[in-house]
Amino acid sequence: MGAYSIKVRGVVQGVGFRPFVYRLAQTRRLTGWVLNGDSGVEIHLEGPEESLQLFLNELESRSPAAARVTAVQVSSVEPAGFRDFAIRESESRAQPTARVSPDLPVCEDCLRELLDPRDRRFGYPYINCTNCGPRYSVIENLPYDRANTTMSAWGLDDDCSAQYRDPANRRFHAQPVACPRCGPHYFLSSTGEVISGDEAAIRRAAQLLSEGKILAIKGLGGYHLACDARNAEAVASLRTRKFRKEKPFALMARDIDVARNVVTLGTEAEELLRSPARPIVLAPARLDFPGVAPGNDELGVMLPYAPIHFLLFAAGALEVLVMTSANRSSEPIAYRDEEAKERLDEIADAFLVGERPIARRVEDSVLRVGAFGAAFLRRSRGYAPGAVATIPAERPILALGADLKNTIALVLDGQAFVSQHIGDLEHYEAHRALAETVEDLLSMYKVPLDDLLVVHDAHPQYFSTVYALKLPARSVQAVQHHRAHIASAIAERGAWGREVIGVSFDGAGYGDDGSIWGGEIFAGSVRGGFERVAHLRAAALPGGDAAASFPVQAAAGFLCQLDNLPDLSAPPFSFPLRYFDSVNLLQKGVRLFPTTSMGRLFDTAAALLGFARATTFEGQSAIWLEQLARKSPRLAPYPFLFERGELDFRPLLEAIIHDRVRGRNPAEIAQSFHQGIACGLTNALLDLCGRRAVKTVVLSGGVFQNEQLLAALKGLLEPQGFEIWTNLAVPCNDGGISLGQAALGAFQDMGRGLCPI
């Protein structure tokens, strides 16, 4: 006979792990107990040694599908003489460090019950069990027990209580469990009409969608705005009301067969689409949905994941719906009922409202499959707030990210938790969302501010910087934007001492010299810091940040370095007046800002090839340019020279202008531009890596969302024996900045960072 104390860490609360342990102990005829503790699941186990070893072998190999076990600590202890095995009440003795489970899609068992008229949960939009349902979006405090969720207001009826306490039932200790008799419900509200009752409300919602109406639908992590994707008038109306001019809408397909008709799905993309995270997946469009993704050859598609989605389709909703975040353009998603009614009243024709409160806003995640596998564009529902790295920090760290695509990171007991997508910090509502997310994570994990290292972007005027400096933390530290990009990809791998050459290409970031960086190459490591060793040739940026919205304005600063320019007001260029106003600023030396931004170089190329108007969302002209390049086969690159630590854009732009004047196909020019960037960067990396005997290259920053560029670089670098690291667990765009900030801040805090951060 023996006895063990076992501590299991990872995503092991809220995923049916305690019931699994209970059943496993019963099978092996072991005694003791299991409970949710501060750091995960704690087990005391007694019985024959052979049975104990079998239990330990099966603990990881047979754990629930939604669980993610990261560590199992086993210690021999004295037997206490337990006669049975029990699930004990959760204990909280210290600062919690347990990983919170992301929200899970409805499982096949619950889906069968949901659609079975003979089942008592038939048509019930809050059906769930230990294998599925809300987690992060309903948890208010740790440990994960019903009293600490937004379901605490609803008591269990006798049937639900019996299932909750039955070890053989899959709802054993399922914290959000409920049924039509004891749980929350949905109702539909529109002008002069309130329909109560789940079935009637959902049936009316489906009818309104079929009639071309726009609905606000409460889901797991917030409201969606939905309409018939094939109804061009409804889609156009949604754009007008939402103030979203051209940015693509996401689609929800009724099932995987419909999704296959909408987009071209490879094996990996389909696996992503059907995975427990149920993200939006970008894939090549097969069908045209007017107004859904103007000028875009990709569509973002997701499958139903909450019971309310399946019930809408079952009630007759059309097989493809626009399903976009419920907000006005650039604002955070609405998730509180009163807030949704106020902010969406002029957008939605009706509201399908669920009574269960949402603890925090969690938008849909967005991924695509590219040259290096699945890559995040937005990391949120289904993934957040999962730990994405282990960082050797000596105290808790809060990293506040950047002002675009903001996320925050919290490092606690070495675990780096990255929040859900918060958004662009341009508006007051987004400022509130950042503050709420910070307060929420610190409160959930009971982190005192007086023992916290706060890390922020080096830009002195970022809202996240101003917010950081107001926090009553023990110490506050700035990290340079582009170094954080590189560190984010390294942090995922924990290779703190690995010497790399890191390429950080994006639109803008505050540089060490106060100028606008964005085309940077670094050498070094997270442990030793990163030295800037090369960059894009500097250009003048007339008007500063405003140039990011006007490609021709950015182009003025690059093209002024070229001689013998043709008449850019005439075809084929036809530049508008804004370009010439920008040239006047350059000549007068007024409001000029030096920049090495690769993003603005892409804008310049797009302007020369026909995108001479204002953009309506971030990165639009670069996306347009990439899609143009896809229409051409791979061609010879334009010259993009690397000399004396600079990537010289002048020969590249001269070649574009020459070929445009002589009438070359714009798609071919776009392809040669992409190949030129890839070849020029490869030559720079061969030079820099050769000098430093480095074989690891890191690529991060928003420009590397460009699959044409990534695929070309992979084809050029891998045959040379380079190991190429890109972001895997967080986005390469600014959504991954907080992780890189946390990593660099930790090593600088410990006195191990030697170079600027």
- pLDDT at residue 445 tops 80: yes
Say if residue 51's pLDDT is above 70.
yes
pLDDT at position 66: 82
Percent of the chain with pLDDT over 90: 87
Over residues 10-18, the mean pLDDT reads: 87
- CA dist., res. 360 & res. 368, Å (int): 26
Q: Assess contact for 455 and 398: CB atoms under 8 A.
A: yes
Question: pLDDT value at position 19?
Answer: 87
- Give me the residue label for tokens 């009706």: 350
CATH architecture type of domain 186-354: Alpha-Beta Complex (3.90)
443 CB neighbour count, 10 Å cutoff: 12
Q: Which tens digit of pLDDT belongs to each residue from 688-698?
A: 999 999 999 99
Q: Tell me the average pLDDT of the chain.
A: 95
The more confident residue out of 374 and 473 is 374
The confidence band for 93, taking pLDDT boundaries of 50, 70 and 90, is low
Residue-wise pLDDT for 498-508, tens only, equals 999 999 999 99
pLDDT score recorded for residue 752? 60
**Contact of 305 with 105, CB cutoff 8 Å:** yes
Is residue 756 over pLDDT 70? no
Angle ∠(301,303,305) on CA atoms, nearest 5 = 135
On the question of pLDDT at 532 being above 70, the answer is: yes
pLDDT given for residue 728 in this prediction: 95
pLDDT at position 354: 98
End-to-end CA distance of the chain: 55
The mean per-residue pLDDT over the stretch 141-162 comes to 93
* Contact (CB, 8 A) for 462 and 434: no
Sequence-distant (6+) residues with CB within 8 A of 404 are 424, 425, 618, 733, 734
Local confidence band at 204 (pLDDT 50, 70, 90 cut-offs) = very high
User: Would you give the DSSP letter of residue 88?
Assistant: P
pLDDT bin (cut points 50, 70, 90) of residue 99 is confident
Domain 535-725, CATH among 3.30.420.40, 3.40.50.300, 3.90.580.10, 1.10.10.2840: 3.30.420.40
Asked whether residue 601 carries a pLDDT value surpassing 80, the answer given is yes
Secondary structure of residue 414 in the 3-state scheme: coil
CB 638 within 8 A of CB 600: no
CB neighbourhood size of 393 (10 A):
21
Q: What is the pTM of this model?
A: 0.94
Q: Is the pLDDT of residue 13 over 60?
A: yes
> Amino acid identity, residue 258?
V
Per-residue confidence (pLDDT) for residue 659, from 0 to 100: 98
pLDDT 10s digits, 219-251: 999 999 999 999 999 999 999 999 999 999 999
The DSSP H or E segment spanning 676 is helix 666-692
The answer to whether residue 103 scores a pLDDT higher than 80 is yes
Give the pLDDT score at 753.
53
Residue 53 has pLDDT above 90, yes or no: yes
* Helical (H) or strand (E) element with 50: helix 49-61
Q: Are strands 646-648 and 529-536 parallel, antiparallel or unpaired?
A: parallel
pLDDT of residue 750: 81
pLDDT (tens digit, 9 = 90+) per residue, 610-669? 999 999 999 999 999 999 999 999 999 999 999 999 999 999 999 999 999 999 999 999
Average pLDDT over residues 127-142: 93
Mean pLDDT of 17-25: 92
Note the pLDDT of residue 16. 84
Q: Of 696, 687, 515, 506, whose CA–CA distance to 601 is shortest? A: 506
- Domain spans, the chain: 2-87, 186-354, 371-534+731-749, 535-725
Q: Which two tokens stand for residue 439?
A: 């307060």
pLDDT in the model for residue 602 = 98
Question: Under CATH, what is the fold of the domain 2-87?
Answer: Alpha-Beta Plaits (3.30.70)
Q: Which residue has the higher pLDDT, 285 or 448?
A: 285
The stretch 204-227 carries a mean pLDDT of: 98
pLDDT band, very low/low/confident/very high, at 512 (cuts 50, 70, 90): very high
The two structure tokens encoding residue 24:
């496993």
Per the document, the length of the chain is: 757
Residue closest to 586 by CA, chosen among 550, 554, 563: 554
Q: Domain 371-534+731-749 is of which CATH architecture?
A: 2-Layer Sandwich (3.30)
Nearest to 536 by CA among 557, 523, 521, 514: 521
Cα distance between residue 320 and residue 331, in whole Å: 25
Q: pLDDT digit string (tens) for 317-328? A: 999 999 999 998
Tell me, yes or no, if the two domains 2-87 and 535-725 fold the same way.
Answer: no
Task: Determine contact, residues 97/38, Cβ cutoff 8 Å.
Answer: yes
Alpha helices, H only, 498-619: 551-559, 577-588, 598-608
205 — pLDDT class (breaks 50, 70, 90): very high
Helix (H) or strand (E) holding 473: none
Q: Hey, how many other C-beta atoms are within 10 angstroms of the C-beta on 281?
A: 29
Q: What is the pLDDT of residue 192?
A: 82
**Spatial CA neighbour of 755 closest among 534, 535, 527, 533:** 527
CA distance 554 to 564: 19
How confident is the model at residue 228, as a pLDDT?
A: 98
3-class secondary structure for 496-548? Answer: CCCCEEEEEEEEEEECCCCCEEEEEEEEEECCCEEEEEEEECCEEEECHHHHH
Q: What is the reported pLDDT for 245? A: 93
